[in-house]
């Protein structure tokens, strides 16, 4: 799950002398503040929920689920898998909220091509977590009762064979659903997606006997769009990134040309329904010209 590169250089506070006392005090203080604020947030959330029907909502929302590792470190966990596991649970909640808001397409970025460069132990933990969660989707009542079509986008051939098999099974099991679309970007890179699309377009035209001159004459946006990982789906209207990082990192580069962006300071595992409502309200208030 995507996270900022600078967090890898952060030394966990628990390694410092006396850090456990300071860390416990910090956690206790944050917990106390959360308890005090909870009733006020509940009132605010209900107020936003009542106005939801007044807003113009996105048809497709893209989410960069960032901050899992920093979340784990803030809780004094030496293994960042804790943050990734909590992030996976949060995804279930957020998908339910999106369904409640009648947002039919959601694309989430779980693992980038660059993430393969992390230390072997973390990558192995992540890939096993992905496989476990993917297998859960195969028989998930939430998936089947709500007609969710699940697709994985990216260089999935780079993933372990057992994970690829799980992906094939969940995609096959949900292939006929059309009420809600969930795209999981895994082993994904935006530049790689565009490169793959161009390459496949050229391969197909070559097999059809087209000359290079023919291809140069005819090529336009529509030629490439039908080879993108998200072909057949609307482009993302809104892209949301958690954890306070203000950059796209290559997420849906082609598709996001006219997307609205929303950056949230909250780490992904701590993302709340009120945070989603705020993002949707901000989107509704934007004046979208789509280049016109």
How many angstroms separate the CA atoms of 224 and 201, rounded?
A: 7
Question: Residue 176: pLDDT above 60?
Answer: yes
**Residues 96-105: pLDDT tens digits?**
999 999 999 9
Sign of torsion over alpha carbons 271, 272, 274, 277: positive
With beta carbons less than 8 A apart as the criterion, state whether 69 and 80 touch: yes
Q: What is the pLDDT of residue 15?
A: 43
Confidence of residue 39 (pLDDT cuts 50, 70, 90): low
How many angstroms separate the CA atoms of 93 and 182, rounded?
A: 13
* Whole-number average pLDDT of the chain: 89
Q: What is the pLDDT of residue 9?
A: 35
Q: Full-prediction pTM beyond 0.75?
A: yes
Residues annotated as part of the active site = 66, 115
Give the chain's domains with CATH numbers: 55-285 (3.40.1180.10)
The more confidently predicted of residues 31 and 288 is 288
Q: What is the pLDDT of residue 238?
A: 98
How many angstroms separate the CA atoms of 156 and 164, rounded?
A: 7
The more confidently predicted of residues 118 and 27 is 118
CB atoms within 10 A of CB 281: 15
Q: What is the pLDDT of residue 6?
A: 37
Q: What is the pLDDT of residue 40?
A: 64
Q: What is the pLDDT of residue 44?
A: 74
With beta carbons less than 8 A apart as the criterion, state whether 13 and 22 touch: yes
Task: For residues 191-216, give the mean pLDDT.
Answer: 97
Q: What is the pLDDT of residue 8?
A: 35
């Amino acid at each position: 799950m995507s996270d900022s590169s600078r967090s890898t250089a952060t030394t966990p506070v628990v390694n410092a002398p006396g850090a456990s006392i300071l860390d416990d005090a910090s956690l206790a203080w944050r917990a106390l503040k959360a308890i005090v604020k909870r009733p006020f947030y509940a009132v605010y959330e209900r107020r936003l929920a009542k106005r939801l029907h007044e807003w113009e909502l996105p048809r497709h929302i893209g989410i960069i689920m960032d901050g899992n590792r920093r979340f784990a470190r803030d809780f004094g966990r030496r293994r960042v898998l804790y943050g990734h596991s909590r992030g996976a649970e949060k995804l279930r909640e957020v998908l339910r909220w999106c369904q409640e808001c009648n947002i039919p397409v959601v694309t989430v970025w779980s693992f980038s091509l660059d993430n393969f460069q992390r230390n072997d132990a973390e990558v192995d933990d992540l890939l096993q977590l992905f496989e476990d969660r993917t297998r859960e989707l195969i028989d998930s009542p939430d998936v089947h009762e709500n007609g969710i079509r699940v697709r994985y986008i990216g260089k999935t051939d780079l993933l372990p064979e057992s994970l690829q098999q799980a992906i094939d099974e969940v995609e096959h099991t949900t292939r006929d659903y059309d009420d809600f679309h969930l795209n999981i970007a895994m082993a994904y890179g935006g530049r790689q997606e565009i490169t793959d699309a161009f390459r496949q377009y050229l391969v197909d035209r070559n097999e059809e006997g087209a000359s290079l001159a023919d291809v140069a004459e005819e090529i336009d946006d529509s030629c490439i769009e039908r080879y993108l990982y998200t072909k057949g789906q609307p482009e993302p209207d809104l892209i949301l990134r958690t954890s306070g990082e203000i950059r796209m990192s290559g997420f849906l580069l082609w598709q996001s040309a006219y997307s609205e962006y929303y950056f949230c300071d909250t780490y992904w595992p701590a993302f709340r329904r009120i945070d989603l409502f705020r993002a949707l309200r901000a989107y509704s208030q934007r004046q979208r010209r789509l280049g016109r």
